[in-house]
């Protein structure tokens, strides 16, 4: 009977078991997921999660404690640098065990153990729940006044723009009328000059005709 024997020896001595747990924990920290048997995965979960909790507070004492368990300085540095920052807001439960079937040969049950926050296939953000309401009349009644208010605002804006545009057009018309009057006065002043110019040749022609008639009468006499 196994009453009171809470530690799974996994068929190994104490020193062998500690070395195996340290190697498996280092591999899990470096690769973020490993395949092993279900019994080893459960033992590794109990071994590595307290180390991840200690990595949240980066102190010299905690680094020494973790290093004494992992015996790998590269795994310790990655644990305190990357993993501790990723799991800072998670209060425990840093690993996940997924059973993947049985192993060929000895038919041992296999499992995949991974760090929860480093799995991209699972959605980390909680989706927002859409609440369905049977009473839809209130929503429609609320949306219709909003639409009417928007239409009223658009009408007011259009009226204001028209009022602003109308004085501008009147000013332009007022500005244009004096210019037109000046142009008309200039044309009127130019017309008498042309008439005077045109009258002078006609007078000269009539005087020449009279002189010719006088000369003809003298010759006839």
| DSSP output for 137-202 | HHHHHHHHHHHHHHHHHHHHHHHHHHHHHHHHHHHHHHHHHHHHHHHHHHHHHHHHHHHHHHHHHH
Do 114 and 18 share a domain, yes or no?
yes
Residue 180 clears pLDDT 70, i.e. is over it:
no
Residue 214 clears pLDDT 80, i.e. is over it:
no
Average pLDDT of the residues in 126-144 = 58
Q: What range defines the domain where residue 217 resides? A: 150-221
Q: Is residue 4 part of a domain?
A: no
149 CB contacts (<8 Å, ≥6 apart)?
A: none
User: What is the structure's pLDDT at 90?
Assistant: 93
Please, what sign has the CA dihedral across residues 142, 144, 150, 153? negative
Q: How far is CA 87 from CA 8, 53, 92, 107, 118, in A?
A: 27, 9, 9, 35, 10
Q: By three-state DSSP, how is residue 114 classified?
A: strand
Q: Please state the domain count of the chain.
A: 2
Contact between 114 and 95 (Cβ < 8 Å): yes
Give the CATH number for residue 69: 3.90.1030.10
Share of the chain above pLDDT 70, in %: 55
Reported confidence tier of residue 1, pLDDT bands at 50, 70, 90: confident
Average pLDDT of the residues in 90-113 = 95
Q: What are the structure tokens assigned to 98, written together?
A: 């997924």
Do 71 and 23 share a domain, yes or no?
yes
Do 42 and 110 share a domain, yes or no?
yes
Do 53 and 109 share a domain, yes or no?
yes
Q: Report pLDDT digits (tens) over 34-56.
A: 999 999 999 999 999 999 999 99
Average pLDDT of the residues in 94-101 = 95
Q: Report pLDDT digits (tens) over 58-71.
A: 999 999 999 999 99
Do 70 and 157 share a domain, yes or no?
no
Q: Is residue 138 part of a domain?
A: no
């Amino acid at each position: 009977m196994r009453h009171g024997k809470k530690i799974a020896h996994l068929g190994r001595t104490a020193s062998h078991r500690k070395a195996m747990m340290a190697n498996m924990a280092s591999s899990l920290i470096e690769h973020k997921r490993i395949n092993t048997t279900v019994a080893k995965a459960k033992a590794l979960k109990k071994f590595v999660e307290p180390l991840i909790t200690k990595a949240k507070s980066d102190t010299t004492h905690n680094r020494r404690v973790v290093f004494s368990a992992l015996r790998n300085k590269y795994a310790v540095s990655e644990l305190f640098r990357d993993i501790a920052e990723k799991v800072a807001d998670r209060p425990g439960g840093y690993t996940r065990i997924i059973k993947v079937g049985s192993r060929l040969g000895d038919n041992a049950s296999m499992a995949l153990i991974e760090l929860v926050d480093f799995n991209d296939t699972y959605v980390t953000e909680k989706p927002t729940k859409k609440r369905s309401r049977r009473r839809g009349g209130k929503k429609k009644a609320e949306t219709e006044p909003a639409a009417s208010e928007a239409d009223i605002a658009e009408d007011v804006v259009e009226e204001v723009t028209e009022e602003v545009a109308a004085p501008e057009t009147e000013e332009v018309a007022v500005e244009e009328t004096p210019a037109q009057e000046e142009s008309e006065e200039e044309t009127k002043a130019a017309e008498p000059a042309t008439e005077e110019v045109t009258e002078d040749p006609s007078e000269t022609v009539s005087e020449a005709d009279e002189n010719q008639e006088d000369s003809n009468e003298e010759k006839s006499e």
